[in-house]
Amino acid sequence: MRGMVVAVLVVLFGAVVSAGEVVTTESLLREMTSLAPLAKPAPYVTFQFSSHDRSSLAPYLPGWYANSDGFGGEPAPNVMQILDTPDKDGVGRYLIAEMDGPGAIVRTWTPMPYPMNGTLKMWLDGKKKPVYDGKAAEFTRNRQSCWENGFDPKTPGISQEDSNYFPVPFAKHLRIEWTGKVKDLHFYHIGVRQYDKGVKVRSFNPDEIPALQSVFEETSRNLAAPGYWRATHPAGTAAPFNCDIAAGELKDLFKETGAGTVVEFGVKAEAGDMAKALRQTVLLAWFDDAPAPQIEAPLGDFFGSWPGITPYDSLPMTVRPDGTMVCRFVMPYAKSAVLKLRNFSDQPVHATGWRVVGRGMETGRHFYAKWRVNHDMEAGGDGEVRDLPFLVALGQGTYVGTTAHLLNTTPVITIGGSWWGEGDEKIWLDRKPFPAYIGTGSEDYFGYSWSRPDLFSYAYCAQPMCSGPGCAGYTTNIRWHILDPIPFREHIGFFMELFHHSKTEGLSYARTAYFYAPPQTRDDAVRIGPSDVRLGMTLPGGWKPVAAGAPGPVVFFEAENVLAPGAKNAQVVEGDIWSGGKVVCWKPERTDDRLAFNIDVPESGNYKIVTTSMLTPASGKYAVAVDGQPPMGPEFDLYTPYLTLSRFFYFESVALEKGPHTVTLVSRDRSHDSVGTDVGVDLIWLWPEKK
């Protein structure tokens, strides 16, 4: 493997702004794909304007966990200033962002569906004519296409899930006004940089868009497929490693001496139980003879993979379907770098991989990844909310990323009722009394919205795992701060509210904070112990579903308990994400094969038929028929690559009399990508229609 060419940064050691250089739209676009500048002190601070609830004033004052974050009709408008009170139609004018420059807009967000209503006007440098005057949702979601000759809004990479990263630099001043209905939904984030005095910035001008076409397309293309981009731009030589780590052993992966920078690090672990291996084998790294490791995190958690292998592709991290995990955060050192694995599990682990080492960087900073976990927590119920620390540090540094891994033990399976992340991020900087970042919900921080269980993967954010049903089970959320890193010069306090929709016991919440800092910076990380990585691995056995938040008294039928006698090619499979620990897996042999379930309806009425079904790489398509009638619409495809998931599927409504009925699954073959036609069903619901 020695000598193998691998992918690293195209601009390996891109510099931060120095004397005589000018920040421009083009330079910011190029910065979007450069990781090395994150290791250097930044000539700016960052903060966020948002629609957070203005009742939140201080941690021990009433209203700190208030949640009117943009739903509409809040006690006080979630804006900086009311400019015009609402007219007879409810439309008012509000100041939502203003700062003195030089600076740049580096991220915006609004939810989909139901984005921010109304219109925005943006002025730069105090000029009378606004640079933007149009729909608020377009600016916050597809800013690259907002001007004449703008870029194609469908171009990938710049818009990522519900966030947009098209940069807007300004030399002197930024002002944004919103005209809209404060009684309606109006969630928003506007993330900005404020450069140090003396940094020269050339303000964005829509007339420059045509000249930026090639740079924009290159940046967008590279952000859309980071792993592929690097594979086609080789710029380094890999040195391999290969080691076996026995149970209880601490083993070197590799050592480097002299000044250098690890610019890429890849590893693939193999073990009998991969979920256990990736959580219970801990990655540690010491730079420049540090007495304590700067990196300490479970191997899988460090790469954003949990439980087991959860593939995704982002700019600084990639997890491939074959289990190879790649880190591209640069790791500079002046004298030495030592990476080790500690195996807390009861099984041997085999690890192979490589590192790419470049020349040294004069930063005086190291790369840190600090993991922590809370097990057996009680969340939700009776307004129980708390701020969970992700990182508290004194000194200087730059915060560059967050991964969160939750074992959500709620028995509630409806999406809203099972949601764990209603809470906001709150990030204090440099001993200021109020957070520089205060958000509108955990999923909003991670780049999506409305507690969606959808899996997604982008350059700066990902949800590679949400096992379900609903938001229950296993979840991994990821956000990288690449264009919007968070420099701190004296202090950082990063907290996230744990705000669950329903009372839940036994929840586990693990998170990793990634940052650069000099050796003098003091953080609050605690060394990992065996129980930290051994607990919180599985859901409670034999849990039973609860339908909090459903419209009316839902009736559940466990599929294995109502399977009709004589069923062919069906077996009961065990697993902790299934109700009662069991799911019926049916392997139809041909299209239109059928599998029947006998249910007993408690009351006559109109019911929507709902199933909780199993998605796998070998799953096929199916429809549902009731009492021998033709299959009702729609039909659903249960295929998903790589993982096993639990999801809801809503069929048509049907009138059912009290008493026995038959619900039949009808095979509809499979999609092109699937390797089988399996249909797995955990639950059959009767969801009463509203009268």
Max distance between CA atoms of the chain, in angstroms, equals 82
Distance CA 421, CA 388 (A): 12
Task: Identify the band that residue 16 occupies on the pLDDT scale cut at 50, 70 and 90.
Answer: low
Pick from 524, 531, 601: nearest CA to 562? 601
Locus of tokens 């953080």: 523
Give percent of the chain above pLDDT 70: 96
Q: Is the predicted pLDDT of residue 660 greater than 80, yes or no?
A: yes
Average pLDDT of every residue of the chain: 94
Under 8 Å between Cβ of 318 and 35 = no
Helix spans in 104-179 (H): 136-141
Mean pLDDT of 462-485: 97
| DSSP element (H, E) containing 280 | helix 274-280
Q: Which residues contact 202 (CB under 8 A, 6 or more apart)?
A: 22, 23, 24, 25, 169, 171
Task: Identify the band that residue 165 occupies on the pLDDT scale cut at 50, 70 and 90.
Answer: very high
Pick from 285, 310, 379, 300: nearest CA to 344? 300
Q: Which neighbouring-strand residues pair with 44?
A: 195
Q: Which neighbouring-strand residues pair with 242?
A: 352
Q: Is the predicted pLDDT of residue 329 greater than 60, yes or no?
A: yes
Would you state the torsion angle of the CA atoms of residues 670, 673, 676, 680, taken in this order, to the nearest 10 degrees?
-70
pLDDT, tens only, 445-471: 999 999 999 999 999 999 999 999 999
pLDDT, tens only, 290-313: 999 999 999 999 999 999 999 999
| Cα of 501 vs its chain's centroid, Å | 19
Q: Is the predicted pLDDT of residue 514 greater than 80, yes or no?
A: yes
Mean pLDDT of 392-408: 98
Q: Is the predicted pLDDT of residue 11 greater than 70, yes or no?
A: no
Locus of tokens 């979630």: 78
Output the CATH code of domain 365-530: 2.60.120.1390
Q: Is the predicted pLDDT of residue 161 greater than 80, yes or no?
A: yes
pLDDT at residue number 235: 58
* Torsions phi, psi for 156 (to 5 deg): -75, 165
19 CB neighbour count, 10 Å cutoff: 7
223-232, 474-483, 490-499: least confidently modelled range: 223-232
Range(s) for CATH 2.60.120.1390 in the chain? 237-364, 365-530
Alpha-carbon distances of 394 from 5, 428, 438, 492, rounded to whole Å:
40, 11, 20, 7
pLDDT at residue number 440: 98
Q: How many residues comprise the chain?
A: 691
pTM comes to 0.96
Mean pLDDT of 604-611: 94
> Can you read off the two tokens belonging to residue 275?
């979920």
Q: Is the predicted pLDDT of residue 9 greater than 90, yes or no?
A: no
The correct answer on CATH 3.30.930.10 for the domain covering 555-688 is no
Distance CA 460, CA 223 (A): 8
Q: Which residues contact 63 (CB under 8 A, 6 or more apart)?
A: 53, 55, 56, 57
Q: Is the predicted pLDDT of residue 122 greater than 60, yes or no?
A: yes
Locus of tokens 């730069």: 124
Classified as helix, coil or strand, 276 is: helix
Output the CATH code of domain 237-364: 2.60.120.1390
Q: Which residues contact 130 (CB under 8 A, 6 or more apart)?
A: 121, 122, 123
* Torsions phi, psi for 184 (to 5 deg): -100, 170
pLDDT at residue number 462: 98
Distance CA 171, CA 125 (A): 6
pLDDT at residue number 691: 65
Pick from 173, 182, 51: nearest CA to 123? 173
Distance CA 47, CA 517 (A): 19
Mean pLDDT of 614-636: 96
pLDDT, tens only, 576-593: 999 999 999 999 999 999
Q: Is the predicted pLDDT of residue 14 greater than 50, yes or no?
A: no
pLDDT, tens only, 536-580: 999 998 899 988 766 668 899 999 999 999 999 999 999 999 999
pLDDT at residue number 234: 52
Helix spans in 180-290 (H): 213-224, 226-231, 274-280
Helix and strand numbers (H, E) in the chain are 9, 47
pLDDT at residue number 241: 96
Distance CA 50, CA 68 (A): 12
pLDDT, tens only, 190-216: 999 999 999 999 999 999 999 999 999
Q: Is the predicted pLDDT of residue 289 greater than 80, yes or no?
A: yes
Would you state the torsion angle of the CA atoms of residues 424, 429, 435, 440, taken in this order, to the nearest 10 degrees?
-30
pLDDT at residue number 233: 63
Task: Identify the band that residue 74 occupies on the pLDDT scale cut at 50, 70 and 90.
Answer: very high
Pick from 68, 50, 71: nearest CA to 184? 71
Q: Is the predicted pLDDT of residue 286 greater than 80, yes or no?
A: yes
335 CB neighbour count, 10 Å cutoff: 13
| Cα of 259 vs its chain's centroid, Å | 35
